[in-house]
Every structure is written in C-alpha cells, then in structure tokens.
Structure 1
Amino acid sequence: SDRATCHGMKVEKKAAKTSREGGASLTIKKKKKTDVPAKAAPAAAPKKKLKRAADASESKPKKQKRAAEPAAPSDLSDTAETADTAAADAGCLTNFRLSEATVAALEARGIQALFPIQSATFDLIFGGDDLIGRAHTGCGKTLAFALPTIERLLGLKKVDRSLPKPCRPLALVLAPTRELAQQVGREFAAVAPTLTCCCVYGGAPIGAQCSELRRGVDVLIGTPGRVKDLMGRSALELCDVLCATLDEADQMLDMGFADDMAEILATCTREDRQTCLFSATLPPWVVKEAPKYMRPSPRVVDLVGDKEKKASSDVRHLAIPSPGPMSARSSTINDVISMYTTSSGRVIVFCQTKAECDDLTNSDALKLEAKCLHGDIPQAVREKTMAAFRSGKFRVLIATDVAARGLDMIVDLVLQAKPPMRQRSLRPDEETYVHRSGRTGRAGRKGICVTLYGPRDREAVEQIERFTKNRFEWLSPPNPKSLVQTAAETASGDAAAVPAAACALFHAAAASLLEAKAGDAVEAVAAALALATSTTEVPPSRSLLTNIDGYLTLHATMRSPVNSPSFVWGALRKVLPAGATDGTENVRSLRLTADGHGAVFDVKEALFAAELEAKMGEIEWLSVCDEMPPLQAPPYGDGGKGGGKGGGK
C-alpha cells in the first residue's frame, strides 16, 4: 500500500503500538487507541504559545483530560494546572510523525502542541482509516484532517516524484460555502508550503481554475457545485484521490448536497481511498448515512458526546425578547450591540433570509456601520467584505448562514435576529445554533451569543437550550436609559485613566464649568459625561412588549384569576381618565401573563407621567415592568393591539 511504501513498515508498527495505549476520549468500541505516545515531551511548551491564531483553541481542563487520558485513572483528579501541563506534553509536536518542514511551519505560527481533536485523530488518519470526527467549534478541526493528510502526501510524493499528474489531485476537501473553502485553503497553504493547493468555488473565473488544475495540484479544496462543473468540463479527474474529506459533514450530507456528494465521491475510484468526515454537530442520521460513502465500520472520534454541552462553554448564551417584525427589532439589535461590546468589538448578526439581511443593513435604527454577506452578493464583493471585517475596518457583519460554519475570526458578539429554524419543517434548528454561536468564544477567548425572540419563539429557544445543555440567561432587552448608564460608566472609567499631564490642559475649562454650575462639582462632572456620551436630552422610554419608543410597559397583578383581557381593561378604566383606553394611542398591546393572575400592557409615556406616576404608590396592583414575565401565547393575531371597548383585540 501507499502507507508502507511511503513510510516503511517500521512506522506502521509503531503506529499500531501507539494505537494500543490509552484513548478514553475516542468513541471506538472494538479497539482502543491513544492520541499520542505515552512519553512526555522534554519540557512543556509555554501556555501562550499553545494558542492558534486561526484554527485551534485552548481547551478547558476537562476536555484536555478527555483528549489524552493518562495511563493511571487516579490522574484524573489532578488539579487544572497539572491537567494543562499534561495536555501540553501529550500534544507536543515531537510526539507525532510530522516532517521537519511541517513542524517548522507550525512553530512559525506559534503552534507548539496539537489540540485534543488533532492529537486524537492524527494516527488514525495517518494510518489510512476512514474516520468520523466531532469536536466543539473553534477547537482545530481543520488542522485535524490537514496535518495527517499533508504528511501522507509528502510521503507519497517522495516515492513517486511525477505526482501530481495534470487535472488529478491527490487529496480532496469539500466544504459547503465559498468562505469556508477559502479558509481551509489558507490553512493548507500555510502549513504545507511545498504542496500545491488549489481552491475552487463558484463566482470566481473558472478558466483560471482549469489552468491551475492542468498544471497539477496536490490538494483540491472546493465547493460541490464548482467541483462538478470542473468535472463536467473534463478539467478535473478524481481517480488519484487518496484522501477525501468532507468538512461540516452534516451539512454536506444534507438533502441539498447529498446527490452531489454521491456523484463526486463515486468518481474517487482509487482502491485505497480514505474518507474523513468532520463537524461540530453530528445528528444521528449523519452517523447512519455516512458509511454509505466510506469503507465498512469507519472509526469515530467524538470529543463532544451525548452528555456534554453541545455549544461552547466559553460563550455566554443570552435570550432577549424582541417582538415584532425585523424592522421593529432593529433598535433592539442596535442597543444589544451597544450594551455587550466595546467601541471596537466585532459583531456578527445572523438573519434567516437574504431579504432580512438587506433590510437590517439599511435600517436607520442601526447606527453602526454594517455590511451584509449572503449568497446573492457577487463573489468579489464577498471576499472584500470578509477581508475588511477580519481587519477591523467595520464592526458589524450581517449575514445568513454562509458565515455560520467553520469561519475562524475574532468576534466578540454573535447576535441572532431570530432563533434558527429549519426551512421545510419550521422546527428549531439546534445544529445551526451550535455553529452560529461558535463564531465567538474561539481560541480560548470568551464570547457572548444573544438570541432575540418574539412571543411565539420562546418555545423554540427553550428547545435549543435543552438540546445544547448550555444554560441560557433569560434577560430583558436593554432600554435607552440603561444604555446611557452603561455609557456613562464606561466614560467615567476612561476619564479616570487619563494621565495628569493631559488633565492639566483642561484645568481652566474645568474651572469655568464649575463656576457655571454654581460650584457644584458633581453637576459639572455629570454635564461633562453627558456631553462625552452624546446625551444632551433625556432618552425616551421604550416598551418591553413592542420596542416602541415613548411607551412604558406596566404589569397588572390581580388576586383573582384573570380569564380574559376585558377584566384588566375594566380595572384600568377606574384609574385612568375617561376615554384614555379608547383606541390604541394611549394604552395598547395588552397580553395576559402565564400565571393567570395578571397582564402586561403599554402606556404612553406622557399619559403615565400626567395621570399614573403620582398614583403608583396607591394602586397596589399596578407596577412599572422592569422585566417581562412569562406570557400566555396569543390565541390569534397579537391578541391585544386594540383599545378599550372591553376587548383588547
């Protein structure tokens, strides 16, 4: 076989011996294998150097122990620091059959050790086994299949220097999106500069890709559609493919790509072809479907498992109510970005459709510069947009799920305008949530994922929470006044850090301001902070129910059961001026609470100030709503946009 000729039988025997040591992290029933040899590296690599810029992340101690279980079970109770050191030693580059050129390329990027999914799969892939791999997002899956593939190809080319032949690549990597294909291509090129890599995808000139293939390429990375186009033009033959890899395998085997996968892999006719599937999510149907494209009994390496949290634990998962259509959610999106990121923090906002992306990008309520990314945007513009976002030239990227998988970049906040739903069944799409939220909290960093939901979406978010087994924080939406307070605290902290020499330049102006404020130092500083935060007037209130400015949300709590909105409307007429509940101008959007003893509704801010604010202490059953209580699902329509007349319809 190519393995024996490329590396010799001694190497294969050593791999077999290695595969008998340890291996608790691998979901392999018949025979165990280790991630690495038991011998530790001479010295643990410094922690800082273990970080990867684009492909792998530091794992928490628990995950590190799973990836390379020590020989003695008692070691599992060691401290986190000991586990970190053990994982660093186990993943040391010298423990793996990496060529000097590959090691040099990795070290040049600051990589001193492999991460759990990489160390757990290296020997299996290097040995030619078909494999299904799963690990959390941001944990280095690209290098997990790239490194052993590169080493196999380097060995193969040493034996036959005529390889690769024109139009016949030696390795094939298929990715669902153009952006992910480009990223995988960059990873291969960076780690294996001596191999020729070609990345093909739609929207780019096909003539240049045909010319590159005719010159011969070692690794072909591409999207299924363009690969099929090249095959149809006789510019690509896959009969020499030794290693075929499906990145984001669950999406690649889904209904949209299944026929393409069958057609492409059917032309990979090499007898000893190896097939690998990688993803952060592997639904049961994928594990059942995958062997159709592989040899019998493929190996499975699962670093997530059924009992583990499916989404990253380095990410705070927040759920914030935001009713109404996308146009009504724009202000909430703007406020969430202001609340949960710094002035330089980068944000990805995920929308369900291309039209929603366009509407949000053009919304006047979104005060930050934003650009959108979806399938209808020309490829050249998509590439420029991604490059500008990576380099920090703009902060907010509004995208469909073309940006949900695999893309590795520094993102502080992921914001989902709606819970992800499956297109055909309209059921919650838990796997897409895992991938979307995985765009932040990568490479050991912390991140935040916020999901906005309407009254009918809460159940979907709860189902996603149960599936991922990550604890969600259910919060109220930020309001303008809380945003001002946050901005003031930030400005105050920044002002406290200004050097004395710089402050001295403003002493005269500060004295003048203090005099203008009648010597009241607090008033003077408050005025300066208000100006620094661009707050020159009191911001309006905002409804928690509808996100409409100029309204407050009130909570009516009754002792008796409330069976219909008319009960609450009758109580309101007793405390409001005659006619105030008529129409929808003053009081609107009444909704019954889930406990059956109350309701919430919006009141115009001016009416509240004139008629209710002074009476609030006397009206025991009425209060200003700071946090939205659970609500009953509306029986039809929105169940309460009307005014009085007893209905609230």
Structure 2
Amino acid sequence: MTTPTDAELSETSAPQAETAEAQQDQGPRFTDLDLDPRILAVVERLGYETPSPIQAQTIPLLSDGRDVVGLAQTGTGKTAAFALPALTHLARTVEAGELGTAPQTLVLAPTRELALQVAEAFTTYAAEIEGLSVLPIYGGAPYGPQLAGLRRGAHVVVGTPGRVIDHLSRGSLDLSEIRHLVLDEADEMLRMGFAEEVDQILQQTPDRKQVALFSATMPQAIRRISAQYLNEPVEVSVKAKTTTSSTIRQRCVQVRHSSKLEALTRIMETEAHDAAIVFVRTRAATEEVANRLSARGFRAAAINGDIPQNLREKTVENLREGRVDVLVATDVAARGLDVERISHVFNYDIPVDTESYVHRIGRTGRAGRSGEAVLFVTPREKRLLRAIEKATRQKVEQMPMPTVSDVNASRMQRFSERITQTLASEDLEDYRDLVSSYVSEHDVPAEEVAAALVSMTQDGRPLLLDDSGPDELVRQAERSLEEERGERRGGSEGRSGGRGRFGERGGSSPVREPGEGNAMYKIALGRRDRVNPGHIVGAIANEAGLNSRQIGSIDIRNTHSLVELPEHLSQDQWEALSKTRIGGELIRLERDTGPHGTGEGHRSRGGRGDRDDRGGRGERPRGHRKGGPREGSRQGGKYDGGKGRGPRRGSDRFGR
C-alpha cells in the first residue's frame, strides 16, 4: 500500500534539473490555493511548498465548483489534485456542524491497490480535521469491516466499482448526499469491463454534484462519459516526465513477494557494489527491510517521513561517508538525494507509476557516472513493468537470479580476501602463539583450530548456503525468462505457440483440446447475462490469484461459458471462486464434462454459493493484459487467451 508521501506531489519529490526547479519556483505555492489551514499544515509538514502542474491547474477549478477532466498519468500528483479541494470543502462542512454520517465524497478506482493508495492519501491529508472518516471498500476483502465502517459513518468512500455495486445492492451504502465524485483512471475502468457498473453508480448519485474525471488517455468512450455526466467540464492536460539516463543499466527479475529479501541479498552478495538504495512503498517496510538486512550482515539503515529531519540528515551523511552501505527508503524520504557512491538502486516494491520509477533510478548514474537499477516484479505486476517500458521507451533487461553456487563462490572469495588482508595488515604474533599453544596442549591439527575460529566469527550463521535441494528462486526467475523467450519466438501467437482457435461446439471450427497442464471449466453465465471475456478474466484472475498466462481460451455461449484454467486448482482457489460473482451473479465454476473436457465433472466446492458472506465481484488486477482481452477487436464472443484477440473490455458505450 502506498502512502501519499510516497507517491503523491511527485513533481517536487525529486527535482529533475535546475530548469525544471526554476519553472516550478515561478508557479503558485500551496498557500496560494485557498486550501483549509489544517490541510495546508499537513502538506507543509510533509515538506511540500510548490504544487505539481496538475495540482496547480486543477485545485483552483475544483475549489470554484467546476467539473474537471484531467488527462494525466499516475505519478503526476493527481490524487492530491482532487483530494485537497474535496477535503477543504469537508473541513468547512465540519466547522458549520453539517457533516452528518452519510458519504459526501466518492472516489471510484479500478483496482484494490489504487483504492487503498487513494484512501491512505485522503487519511493523511485529513489528519488535522477532527471527526472526518475515510473508508476504502474493495473486492477480495471481508464484508464485515466495511459494513461496520459504513454503519459508523464514512464521509469519504474510496471503492472499486464491483464492491460499490455490491454495497448498493445490500443497501449498506447511501449515495444520496454525495457532493464530490471522482473517477480515477477512468480509461482503465472501461478496459477492465466496469462501464455498466460505473453507469449504475453515477445514476444513483444526486444530479447536483461535482465530478472530476482523470484518465491517461481520451478515447471516444471517455468523451461520451464527460458529455453525459459532467457539467461544462474544464479539460486539464499534463504529461509525466519519463526520461531515464542512458548511463543507468535497467534490469528486472521475477520473484514472489515472500522471496524478495532472499533475492535482494543474493544479488547484493554476488554483484560488486558500493552503496545502494532499496526503495519500498511504505514507511513500515523501510524499518522491516533495514532490520532484516542488518541481521544478515549488511550495514543498512531506514529513512522515511516519520524519522526526524536531523536523524535523516545524519543517516544520509553516514551513507556518504561509508558508515552505512544500504539505505532503505520511501520515495519522498529520498527526494533530492545525491550521494556519489550510490552504485545500485533496487526497486524492492515496484512503483505504481512511471514517474516514481524515473525519480528512483535517478539516484544512481548521476553526473555521467554509470549506475545499476534492479526492479523486482511479482507475477501479477507484469503490467506495471510493461507500462514502465512503454513510457520510458526503454526495454528493462530480464536478469537471471544468482544461484546458491554463485552466492557460495562469492562468499568464499570475500572470506579469502579478508584472510589475505588480515595477514598483510595485522600483527598476529600473539594470536599465533595462542593457536600454537592450543595445538600442543590439546593435540589437534592447526586446521581444526582455524575451522573452529571461523565458526566463532560466523556467530552461529553458516558461511555457505545449502545447495542440496531445488533452487526455487532461480526457478521463479527462469520461468519469467522462458515466457519472455516464448513470446519473442511465437510473435503474435503468444504463449499458445500456434494453437488453433477455440471455436463453438457444433460449429465449423473444431474446439481445441486444453493445453498441457490445463483443463476446461464451465461457468453458469453467458451471453444472456451480458458477460464478456474481460469480465471473466478479471474476476477469475483477481479472486483466484491467477495471472493472465494461466487463463487460456474463453468461449462464451448463450447460457454458460467455457474457460481454460490450470488442471489442478488449490482448495483455496476453489473456495475463492465458489464465492466469485460477475455483475452480482455467482459464476458457479465447475469442471467441464463435455467431449473436450477432462471428464472428471469436478464441481467447485461450495459452488452453489450458500454462504452469507460471499466475496464480491471484486476488481480486476492491474496486470492481465498479456494473453487477456484487448480493446479494439471483436470475435463474436470468443477469446483466445494465447493470441490476445478477444473482444475489448467494457461495453461499446458507457451509458444506455
């Protein structure tokens, strides 16, 4: 989860050049934007004075009550652009004693990650406004805490469309008092198939409200939304800075979240480096990762917004002087940091926007020096990696994971070098006599004594890693490399490697067999339920934790649909999918028993959805384009996951 101090107000978080700083200095300051003094106090405490371009243009318009269409990438500071004026209005409502308990601001976001990020930003900016409540509501999470929060009263609700619809259908969410409505990343919501849900939500809000729509692009569908639901909106357009230095080598490695620390230590042990910055998303993570690195023998320190300024300066000075080698930091805590000995930047947590990535890796490779940037990517974050590559117009090189043997060889080399250095620089006469005396007294070889002394220096930690079993970290990284090579070899065929189209049964095109390791599954929703491949991919990937490569062909029939999924789903995945809904209806997943299924007829556990606390339809993950349905090509309701030729996500139009 990203704090606002990690991702927002980013135009000032890491100055790009003196010219850029000079241009910012000529613009307005936050004190010029008619914000509530309590909000200004928080912004100043976070260390910001100058708003980013999107903030400087948007905040005055929203403060004046105008509707706004903002064309801006994530990372330009747009969350603060709509949060600060909305909170100023709420602060004045509090002063007038008219706050009540019903939601007055609603923000719709396409993914749970963005919803949490935006909610945390609102919470931070509203820290000085007594009695104001912010609540995120999103799919894939229990209903209980969300229902309790709504009952207590939530003045700002940040939600994903699927879960908001669920709460509306339950009667637990009241939108009758909404005064500010924000559609964040609206184009992404349409691509993920949320057009009808957003339409339903907007129709249940008051006519007299202020609407702010933010989108990275302006396709015709977004223009239709603007024309239908916004009142004479003002269009604001800002582009993010996406230039990376040619002196920085950019690499990435695929690794599961739970394996990141092991991956980081392996790379740091096997690559020559001077000093490094490890970027994480949250303040708590800075302390956790720094402590765990210290326990592994690295001279590491944390730096974040909670650490007093004088201590931060001391930590940076220790890094500069070589008393600290690894700095674990949040984005804002490291802004403006220029330490010559920084050779490596590790993106331990992938940034949610391109500009943050550019700022991060800019901490190395400065003033013509070479630098290394390594990005950790979990299987479900590949979309963010592709967005970074597209925006920066640079390929991020896939790197292999160092093996256990690589780590052990590096440790042995460093150990040998330490012995050589000690022999050359230390007076060992007293120690030599001590060892000689011990050997004579106990009648043991000198090599045994030396081995015991090495063990003592390790303080219980083994010098070498155990390389007797399979290396799961290497397998994770190799899996990513194999997929990448397969895409290059297969071209437009993608991972299917030339599989035939998945045609209608009984039609002219034969239905192909599921791929190796896969099976066909049936869901109880089809064309009559107005589902499309985007709905199916999003719901299954999100709730079962699958990535798009694990979802193969989709065939939408009149009363049901067929989906190609891994043959062996875990019990947790069955449980999650038994509660999965699309458009409020349970999908009722079961194994297909038709002529091209596996014949096992395995029904999902609890597939009839007889539980009270059913999982919501949820939101689609941000990383399922490759192999998932794409915009712009219709194929009569069929989707070949390997070729990426399915119908576009969302409907042709936003409203009816």
Q: TM class by shorter-chain length?
A: 0.3 to 0.5
Normalised by the length of structure 2, the TM-score is 0.45
Normalization by structure 1: what TM-score? 0.45
Bigger RCO of structures 1 and 2 (CA < 8 A, at least 6 apart) = 2
Compare CA radii of gyration and give the structure with the larger one: 1
